[in-house]
Amino acid sequence: MQRTQLASLIAGICLAIDAQAMTLLDAFNAAQAYDSQLASARGARDAAYEKSTQGFAGLLPTVSATANINRISTHLTTTGIDRTIDYTQEVYQLQLRQPIYNRNNFELYEQSKLQVNAGEIQFEQARNDLALRVAQAYFDVLAAQDVISFLAAQKTAITEQLESAKRNFEVGTATITDTHEAQARFDLALAQEIAANNDLEVKRNALAVITGQVPPELRSLRSGVKLTSPEPSSMDKWVQSAEAGNFSVIVQGLLVDIAKLEISRNRAGHFPTLDGVATQSQRKDLTFTSPTTNTTSAVGLQLTIPLFAGFSTTSKIREAISLENQARANLDTAKRAAMQNARAAYLGVQSGLSQIRALEAAEVSSNSALESNKLGYDVGVRINIDVLNAQQQLYSTRRDLAKARYDTLINGLRLKAAAGTLGEVDLAELNALLDIR
């Protein structure tokens, strides 16, 4: 009995947890653990960390051990006597080599440090992209839910108008046309509701692709929430921030530096190298007559001067110079794209705020117009179609107002992403605008 009660309690707790509405931060946290694009970026970042170790390895000593076993046959001729000696020879060698001057290895190490930085920046860029994708998918679901809510309210209002038209027709104060008009609007609203439910399912699945979860409900924006202009209020300052601080721009700048070092690294193919070499070797000649063992130790310097490599070094230098030009062009492209994205997002926020103010005023006016048309219909100075049109205008305005709020919030995130300042704290600020109950 007690086990049954405990199982029921646990099941109830699990159902209560599942029934909790998801917030924007909940969605982002789930996406960080589930999203495959972020997982790919994380793997690339972790791989980039190893570049530093590999680059530093070129500056460290290397130790190698070799062993050879040979069967040797020697033919000797002395004063008319020929003889053949067959024996086994074993050679063991231990060598330590320390690079003293190797320009190629120095450049590789400097490149490796830049590659680590580029990997970290690219991962942060992937997190920012994830934040934008989550927010877009989250607000897309809210917008789809709003459409269904407004259509349900519109259907209720149309139903009331349809019943009123039927009653008025029965008592002879209205024509059958009013009933047909109201029925047509009801059927249209029903068709729109079917399409809206399908669209909501598509949007919920899009969110699930990112987060791995299909929540039963999402927290919506609080009613009457006021959105503010971005700070700083100057578009030029946001554009300047994007030109210098955008993650894509920073990564491309690092790739330019890596390309410059690649030129130096290939030019190092013309430079000599100097290594310190310490060797210990042992040779055993296992003859039948007089086995011998020779042990040799040597410490010295080895200078290698490249003389001719079939023009490959010169070709690689030209290739590296061309790749640097490509990297610089990519940097210019990234800067222009970041600046354009910042301008578009800033204008989107400002336009969205203006639309919100205009639609808020239109909502008040549309509501007043609906009430006036209802009153006019009751006293006979307005016809049924006037009321239906006023109802449709009110709910369309409310739908557009909700969508304008979501678009403005998304453009605010895009603006910060373009400037390279987007962080989890920005999602937390949006999350605070949700109706947490």
288 and 362 in a common domain:
no
First to last CA, the chain: 35
CA distance 387 to 48: 65
Name the token pair of 5. Answer: 């009660």
Boundary-marking domain end, from 256, 281, 305: 305
Mean pLDDT of the 70-99 span: 85
132 and 247 in a common domain:
yes
pLDDT grade for 29, boundaries at 50, 70 and 90: very high
pLDDT grade for 437, boundaries at 50, 70 and 90: low
Would 80 be classed as within a structural domain?
no
Mean pLDDT of the chain: 89
pLDDT digits (tens, 9 = 90+) for 384-417: 788 888 888 999 999 999 999 999 999 999 999 9
Would 9 be classed as within a structural domain?
no
Name the token pair of 151. Answer: 């259509």
Domain that holds residue 279: 64-74+86-101+273-305
Q: Which of 18, 425, 430 is nearest to 213 (CA)?
A: 18
pLDDT score, position 112 = 96
Cα dist. 190→48, 156, 196, 212, 397 in Å? Answer: 55, 11, 10, 31, 19
pLDDT score, position 179 = 83
Q: How many CB atoms lie within 10 A of CB 305?
A: 9
| Burial (Cβ within 10 Å: 0-12, 13-18, ≥19) of residue 52 | middle
123 and 30 in a common domain:
yes
298 and 199 in a common domain:
no
CATH number, residue 379: 1.20.1600.10
pLDDT digits (tens, 9 = 90+) for 209-264: 999 988 778 999 988 888 999 999 899 999 999 999 999 999 999 999 999 999 99
Q: ∠ CA 8-9-11 to the nearest 5 degrees?
A: 65
pLDDT grade for 173, boundaries at 50, 70 and 90: low
225 and 97 in a common domain:
no
Would 237 be classed as within a structural domain?
yes
Q: Which of 16, 20, 26, 18 is nearest to 137 (CA)?
A: 26
Single-letter code of the amino acid located at 22: M
More confident residue, 103 or 180: 103
Single-letter code of the amino acid located at 162: L
CA distance 244 to 418: 10
Would 39 be classed as within a structural domain?
yes
Phi, psi torsion values for 111, nearest 5 degrees: -60, -40
Would 217 be classed as within a structural domain?
yes
Give a three-class secondary structure readout of the chain. CHHHHHHHHHHHHHHHHHHCCECHHHHHHHHHHHCHHHHHHHHHHHHHHHHHHHHHHCCCCEEEEEEEEEEEEEEEEECCEEEEEEEEEEEEEEEEEEEEECHHHHHHHHHHHHHHHHHHHHHHHHHHHHHHHHHHHHHHHHHHHHHHHHHHHHHHHHHHHHHHHHHHHHHCCCCHHHHHHHHHHHHHHHHHHHHHHHHHHHHHHHHHHHHCCCCCCECCECCCCCCCCCCCCCHHHHHHHHHHHCHHHHHHHHHHHHHHHHHHHHHHHHCCEEEEEEEEEEEEEECCCCCEEEEEEEEEEEEECCCCCCCHHHHHHHHHHHHHHHHHHHHHHHHHHHHHHHHHHHHHHHHHHHHHHHHHHHHHHHHHHHHHHHHHHHHCCCCHHHHHHHHHHHHHHHHHHHHHHHHHHHHHHHHHHHHCCCCHHHHHHHHCCECCC
185 and 70 in a common domain:
no
- Tokens 């006019």 belong to residue: 376
pLDDT score, position 6 = 40
190 and 91 in a common domain:
no
CA distance 175 to 172: 7
Domain count, the chain: 2
285 and 248 in a common domain:
no
Name the token pair of 273. Answer: 């190298």
Per the rule left: phi > 0, alpha: psi between -120 and 50, beta: everything else, 210 is alpha
- Tokens 């179609």 belong to residue: 385
367 and 330 in a common domain:
yes
More confident residue, 76 or 17: 76
Kindly report the pTM of this predicted structure: 0.85
Boundary-marking domain end, from 258, 286, 305: 305
404 and 324 in a common domain:
yes
Contact present, 214 and 205 (Cβ < 8 Å): yes
Would 6 be classed as within a structural domain?
no
176-211 helix and 384-419 helix, angle to the nearest 10 degrees? 20
pLDDT score, position 61 = 96
155 and 292 in a common domain:
no
pLDDT grade for 12, boundaries at 50, 70 and 90: very low
Would 223 be classed as within a structural domain?
yes
Name the token pair of 280. Answer: 């210990």
95 and 111 in a common domain:
no
Q: How far is CA 155 from the centre of its chain?
A: 41
Would 234 be classed as within a structural domain?
yes
pLDDT score, position 111 = 96
pLDDT score, position 210 = 95
Per-residue b/e over 10-37, b at no fewer than 16 CB within 10 Å?
eeeeeeeeeeeebbbbbbbebbbeebee
Boundary-marking domain end, from 263, 287, 305: 305
More confident residue, 329 or 382: 329
More confident residue, 9 or 149: 149
pLDDT digits (tens, 9 = 90+) for 183-200: 898 899 899 999 999 999
pLDDT digits (tens, 9 = 90+) for 263-299: 999 999 999 999 999 999 999 888 766 788 899 999 9
- Tokens 């509501």 belong to residue: 367
